[in-house]
Amino acid sequence: MIEVKNLVKRYGTFSAVNNISFEAAPGEIVGLLGPNGAGKTTTMRILTGFMPPSEGSVKVEGFDVLENSMEVRRRVGYMPERVPVYLDMTVHGYLTFWAKLRGMKQPNTQVNQMLERFSLGDRRNKLVRSLSKGLRQRLGLAQALVHNPPVVILDEPTIGIDPQQVIEVRETVRALRENHTVLFSSHILSEVEQVCDRVIIIHKGKIMASGTPQQLAKKYKPGVHLYVSLSGRSQSEIRALLESLPKVDNVREQAAGFVLSSRTDADLRADVSSIIAKHQLTLLEMRLVEVTLEDIFLNIVDKR
């Protein structure tokens, strides 16, 4: 459980985080989405007890980060963006160190479980120095989870690793949902869309929008979008024909065709096929265009 109320963090006169409030419940994966420098890392650092807030109250599992810092830190697993590691320790030694430092008396079973889960078992006695970036990322995740914390905070966990590993990391994060509250930051929109139950878009230290990816899609880019590519007449004639359709509100050129938008949820496909039949056009391609968080994000960020 994470509760953030009116959080402000100032560095001198600059506000990195400017009055944001949100909550995350157990069993929920919340994505913090924003461009670099939006205040994601600062928010996370405050939640982990690394730095104190300038204003506002931040509670993790009911404990205030200022008043009960140690209780908060015991309950949080954190993977910083840089994935720091001790290069001169063995993989097993590294996990054991963090497990013990976070209060586990006999961490051996847990550590072995983690090594198993992140497929690091065959490297348990290797030095961390010898691990590739992707493996270090897995070790970083194992480090954040080894003490089985109720709250897991991951700062851009998929940066700088190859696509296969990105998929693995996403799957791992999704699997955490059952027993943990997960706060996950990224500036990759499709990722947040895939992984998170709820998205909080922040920009310049402020929350711009929040909700499920579907809710955001509905709110910030409502309606139906259809991509069609036709031939048989000149592009401008085709455009005019498409614009003449009553349900179509907007026609935009894209690649070799057009994107038709309708503010209502009307099905445009029937209308398009009637034009095709009437004017003897050839249909090259027709598909529904999914609204991506990218569109929403640009939409929101541009507006302000």
Partner 1 sequence: MRAIRLIMQRELAQYFSSPLAYLIAGAFLLLTGVTFYSDLNFSLGVRPVEPALIPNLLAQVMIVFAPLLTMRLLSEENREGTMELLLTAPVSDGNIVFGKFLSAWAYYTFILLLTLLYQFILVNIALPDISHTIAAYLGIWMYGGAALAVGLLFSATTENQILAAFMATIALLLLYYGDSLGRVVASADLAYILFNLTLQGHYAASFAIGAVRAEDIVYYAGLIVVALFIAIRVIESKRWR
Q: Which residues bind partner 1 (CB under 8 A)?
A: 11, 45, 48-52, 70-71, 73-74, 76, 78, 80, 82, 84-89, 93, 97-98, 100-103, 143
Please say which residue, 27 or 62, places its beta carbon nearer to partner 1. 62
Provide, rounded to whole angstroms, the least separation between the CB of residue 70 and partner 1. Answer: 5
Strand partners, 255: none
User: 27 vs 84, which CB is nearer to partner 1?
Assistant: 84
CB neighbour class for 280 (10 Å; exposed up to 12, middle 13-18, buried from 19): exposed
CA distances from 112 to 92, 128, 152, 235 (A): 8, 16, 20, 63
Token code pair at residue 139: 């070790």
- Name the minimum Å distance from CB 84 to partner 1: 4
**Residue 283, by phi and psi: left (phi above 0), alpha (psi -120 to 50) or beta?**
beta
Between 76 and 201, CB nearer to partner 1: 76
Those residues whose C-beta lies under 8 Å from the C-beta of residue 217, and which sit 6 or more positions away, are 291, 293, 296
Q: How far is the CB of 113 from partner 1 (least distance, A)?
A: 20
Measured from the CB of residue 92, what is the shortest distance to partner 1 in angstroms? 13
> Can you tell me whether residue 225 is helix, strand or coil?
strand
Report d(CA 108, CA 100) in Å as an integer.
Answer: 10
Distance CA 212, CA 214 (A): 5
Considering the complex, state which of residue 10 and residue 218 has its C-beta at the smaller distance from partner 1: 10
Q: Minimum CB separation from partner 1 for residue 76, in Å? A: 7
Closer by beta carbon to partner 1, 160 or else 223: 160
CB of 101 to partner 1, least distance (A): 5
DSSP-based three-state secondary structure for 64: strand
d(CA 264, CA 295): 18
With respect to partner 1, which residue has the nearer C-beta, 87 or 175? 87
